[in-house]
Amino acid sequence: MYFTIIYMLKNLVKNNYKSALITTFVFMLLLTDLSSLTINSLISLNLIYSFAMYFGLFIIAFDSLKSYKIIGTFLLISIFFLPPNIFSNYKGLLFPVTYLSFITYIGFIVSKQLFTKWKKNQVL
């Protein structure tokens, strides 16, 4: 089972890393306040964590957009729930929607692959 998950994640990254990388750069550039940008904030650990998190989320969202248009659109929209700059009235309240949506989608894809693998191995 673990090899199936690792294989799935490897394929996700291989197929979607270019568009996710560009989108992550643009998304983070739109979120930053350029007037208060310093060298220390560019090298900070928070920026690296945020970049890795958004990069992973955009990879999954673009993969879902290729396979399932409605689910992919929902996942892309739910990424905008994460930064507190966008919905300042709901600061810190909307991130569970995003993470649970992405976890549910990954569970759906993994279970679908496990089912097809099980179905191929069964003798009917």
- pLDDT (tens digit per residue) in 37-93: 667 666 778 888 888 999 999 999 998 999 899 999 999 999 988 887 777 787 778
| Average per-residue pLDDT for the chain | 83
Query: pLDDT grade, residue 2 (50/70/90)?
Result: low
- How many Å apart are CA 99 and CA 27, to the nearest integer? 18
Average pLDDT over residues 24-40: 76
Instruction: Give one DSSP letter per residue of 68-94, joined into a string.
Output: -HHHHHHHHHHHTTSSTTTSGGGTTTS
Query: pLDDT grade, residue 119 (50/70/90)?
Result: confident
pLDDT at 102 over 80: yes
Kindly state the helix (H) or strand (E) to which residue 1 belongs, with its residue range. none
Instruction: Give one DSSP letter per residue of 28-83, joined into a string.
Output: HHHHS-GGG--HHHHS-HHHHHHHHHHHHHHHHHHHHHHH-HHHHHHHHHHHTTSS
Average pLDDT over residues 101-106: 92
Percent of the chain with pLDDT over 90: 27
